């Protein structure tokens, strides 16, 4: 696989992660009783590479 193919496939994957994650968060917030803030955690794993990457953060609530 060329560097260009690798970069394009990675960008496509990350775009899909971002878009689908935002949609899931927005839907969950609409159904939430609390106004936030909400502690968030994302775990990215690629078992074949022995990779487990954790990202945490806070998402402000609506209001």
Domain ranges (residues) in the chain: 3-59
Tell me what pLDDT residue 63 has.
62
- Give 8-62 pLDDT, tens digit per residue: 999 999 999 999 999 999 999 888 877 889 999 999 999 999 999 999 999 987 7
User: 63 or 57, which is more confident?
Assistant: 57
- Cβ atoms of residues 62 and 36 within 8 Å: yes
In this prediction the pTM is 0.80
Identify which of 62, 33, 57 has the alpha carbon closest to the alpha carbon of residue 43.
57
CA distances from 49 to 17, 20, 26, 44, 52 (A): 19, 24, 31, 12, 9
Tell me what pLDDT residue 34 has.
76
Tell me what pLDDT residue 42 has.
97
């Amino acid at each position: 696989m060329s560097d260009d193919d690798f970069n394009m496939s990675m960008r496509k994957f990350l775009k899909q992660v971002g878009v689908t994650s935002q949609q899931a968060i927005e839907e969950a917030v609409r159904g939430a009783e609390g106004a936030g803030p909400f502690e968030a955690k994302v775990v990215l794993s690629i078992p074949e590479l022995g990779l487990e990457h954790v990202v945490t953060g806070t998402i402000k609530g609506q209001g």
